Amino acid sequence: MRHRTEYTYSSEVENSLGLAHLAPRALPWQRVGEHELTIDPVPGDRRLDADVYGNHLTYFHVTDPHERLVVEARTEVEVVDTAYDVDALARPWESARPLHGAIGADVWTATEFAIPSPKVAMLPEVRDYATVSFTPGRPIGEAVTDLMHRIKADFDYDSKATTVTSTVADVFAKRAGVCQDFAHLALSCVRSHGLAGRYVSGYLSTTPPPGKTRVLGADASHAWLAVWVPGSDAWLAIDPTNDQWAGERYVTVAWGRDYGDVTPVKGIIYTEAKKSTLKVAVDVIPETEFSPA
């Protein structure tokens, strides 16, 4: 798996401070092998740490003047389908609300994900939309899956409909967006009903059309969400963009309240440049299709 981010500037950048969430998490269903993160120019200061949610976070400070910055991660990951507790998924969704008496050893970790966050507002119209799925007593697994189906059916995937600054209200009004938007919308839906949901950032291995070879750089970062299920060892991970539970083709990098917590690469630069460009290329290649260069 490779993630390459390249910035170019119209004039020299004096120095650059950056934060990167590019190293996948080690999880019961995900084994992380060799991981390498390269930064060009080489930073004068670089540190690996963990953020408040346990994600791997790399801080770097490039002090050499530059007009181009490249951050590239290469990782080997093995993923299997997540095993869910069938009995836990069958419990009424009302019993899974952390702020309304839900019981579970990890209820305290779920609480923060049941309230609004900077990019996930709780709106009356969104709550009303979600109510169709969250009928009284409905099993949580069934209710959350139904919400996923409805978002896929009711909202169009359109990369031109929104930007990184679009809000849940914008997405709901336009009935269109991208994976980040649909994850935020679904989080607003579940949180509006008292459930806990976290934003998940990672990658999805895509399959080339029949008879076609994989095009390098054609994949992209992906986003989905996971809903807390009391009495289960795993949060129920759903992908409303593709109308499916996240499975063995999904690589989890980081999770948080919303996109702002887990941006792949972000930072601050000191420059007088008037223009800049950003190019991102992602390749998720199954081992059966991989051949060393």
| Residue 82 to residue 80: CA distance in whole angstroms | 6
pLDDT in tens, 77-125: 999 999 999 999 999 999 999 999 888 888 999 999 999 999 999 999 9
Q: At 291, is the pLDDT very low, low, confident or very high (cuts 50, 70, 90)?
A: very low
- Summary mean pLDDT of the chain: 93
Residue 45 Rama label (left phi>0; alpha psi -120 to 50; beta): beta
Name 62's Cβ contacts closer than 8 Å, sequence gap at least 6.
Answer: 13, 15, 16, 18, 39, 41, 42, 43, 44, 69
Given a cut of 60, whether residue 290 has pLDDT beyond it is: no
Look at the block and give the residue holding tokens 């996109």. 259
| Residue 140 to residue 244: CA distance in whole angstroms | 16
- What confidence score (pLDDT) does residue 84 get? 94
Q: At 233, is the pLDDT very low, low, confident or very high (cuts 50, 70, 90)?
A: confident
Given a cut of 80, whether residue 189 has pLDDT beyond it is: yes
pLDDT in tens, 254-286: 999 999 999 999 999 999 999 999 999 998 887
Given a cut of 60, whether residue 215 has pLDDT beyond it is: no
pLDDT in tens, 122-177: 999 999 999 999 999 999 999 999 999 999 999 999 999 999 899 999 999 999 99
Q: Where is average pLDDT lowest: 154-163, 205-214, 228-237?
A: 205-214
Q: And the tokens for 264?
A: 């792949």
Counting residues of the chain whose pLDDT is more than 90, the rounded percentage is: 86
